[in-house]
Amino acid sequence: MNEALEELSTFSLSDAPLGDTLQWVGHLALAALDPVDVVGITMLDSRGRPTTAMYSDERAPSIDEAQYRAGAGPCLDAWRLGHRVRLDDMTEARDRYPAFSEAALAHSVLSSLSLPLRSRASDVGALNLYATQTYAFTPDDEGEAETFATAAAVVVANAAAYLAATDMTVHLQEALKSRAVIEQAKGMLMANAPDLTPDAAFAILRRASQRENVKLREIALRIVERRPIAEAPDT
């Protein structure tokens, strides 16, 4: 967790696409918070509707879409009310969030923790953490997740404010496009290496992006289009 917070604290504004920033934040959460199996970040799209702007795998948007359609769910409440929402057992959440809990159970997600991404500047969205075990999140996990979400909110808010000087709507649309091609590239890497986790696949993409000094989406696009990326030098 300390390493993740240090990375967040050293974030600097640049012309990096919003999608790259969201992917980076989400995968930091996945690596830093032990109980978490799936991560999603909810933001507003160009029409002012909630959308899953970042996800670590396909389960997140499928689960989130159920609560968006119903207008009720833990991430929406976390965002609207400004406090974390923890569900320890999805089978016990059917009365409170029927559509959401059914979608979560269908994807073997048994508990969740949703936290607002709120900075002094604005409310930018919600961080959604999903686990495949019941009662996955201890009070210590909650505290660490809240600390992470507070730091992440500053990063996302600053990136959004910086990009708003050009066109926030365009950048969010680009974020959604980047998300799709990055997920496709991760899937191709994992198909070629069955032991590779989603987080490890993303790490490969990010290292290649840094090594070649090109955007993460470009590296992912090369993989999708089966164009070579430069090999890391021997050490």
Query: How far is residue 63's CA from residue 109's CA, in Å, rounded to a whole number?
Result: 9
Output 127 or 22, whichever has higher pLDDT: 127
CA angle 118-120-126, nearest 5°?
Answer: 10
> What length is written for the chain?
235
Each residue's pLDDT tens digit, 202-211: 889 988 888 8
Give the residue ranges of DSSP H helices in the chain.
2-9, 18-32, 59-70, 74-81, 98-106, 139-164, 168-192, 198-212, 216-224
| pLDDT for the residue numbered 46 | 72
| pLDDT for the residue numbered 233 | 45
Cβ 127 vs Cβ 114: under 8 Å = yes
Mean pLDDT of the 57-74 span: 93
Sign of CA dihedral 156, 224, 46, 162: positive
pTM attached to this predicted model = 0.68
Q: At what angle do helices 59-70 and 74-81 cross, to 10 degrees?
A: 70
| pLDDT for the residue numbered 42 | 92
Question: CB-based burial of residue 179 (10 Å sphere; 0-12 exposed, 13-18 middle, 19+ buried)?
Answer: buried
- Indicate the CATH number of 2-166 among 3.20.20.70, 3.40.50.720, 3.40.50.2300, 3.30.450.40: 3.30.450.40
The fraction of the chain above a pLDDT of 90, given in percent, is: 45
